Every structure is written in structure tokens, then in C-alpha cells.
Amino acid sequence: MAGPTRSAPHPAAVDDPLGTLARELYVALCARLYTAPGDKPQPKAVAQLAFRLAADFLAANEELNPTLRAVREARAKAEVDLDAVKLDFGAPARRD
């Protein structure tokens, strides 16, 4: 009997901040749009708007959020370019 096969992770299991925010925006927009009187947009159009809003928000957040800027700067300072590191393995020391 063969062992269990491993499949790709479920899409919901992947950390996707854009998708998560777009989903939250979509639900909030739908709650307002479809309960209000008047013409109703197509659900696909609302989903497209939610993704555009989420992408713009995340881009602005990366640019303007001081906490994220500080984290990005700290990571840049902590990175080491291994190609620039020169190691000298010279002759081994003698032990007498």
C-alpha cells in the first residue's frame, strides 16, 4: 500500500495579505451596496474594485507607514552581501 501523497497547499493556507484585505473590502462593500436602494453593480465589478482598493492601500501603507519603513531599513542594514565578504584561509597554525 502506497503512503499518502502530498498535494499542494490549499490557496487559503497561503499568506496573502492582498487577498485577505480584498476579501474584507469585498464583503464590506457588498453589505453596503446590496442592502441600499437603487441600482446594483455586478459582483465581479465589486470584486475588481476591492482588489484595486486593497492593492492601493497596501502600496500606500508600505510607503507611508513609519513602522514598516523602520523595519525595512533595519533589514537592509542587517543584510550581509556574501559576495563582498573575503575570507583568508591562509596556512593553518602550527601546534607545538
- Give the count of domains, the chain: 1
Residues with Cβ within 8 Å of residue 57, at least 6 apart in sequence: 21
Cell numbers 492601500 correspond to: 57
- Domain assignment present for 87: no
What's residue 1's pLDDT? Answer: 52
pTM, 2 dp: 0.62
What's residue 44's pLDDT? Answer: 97
What's residue 9's pLDDT? Answer: 62
- Domain assignment present for 93: no
Segment-wise mean pLDDT, segments of 10 residues, the chain, 96 residues: 61 82 97 94 96 96 90 84 76 70
Q: Are 21 and 54 in contact (CB under 8 A)?
A: yes
- Domain assignment present for 48: yes
The domain in which residue 69 lies consists of 41-79
- Domain assignment present for 74: yes
- Domain assignment present for 11: no
- Domain assignment present for 56: yes
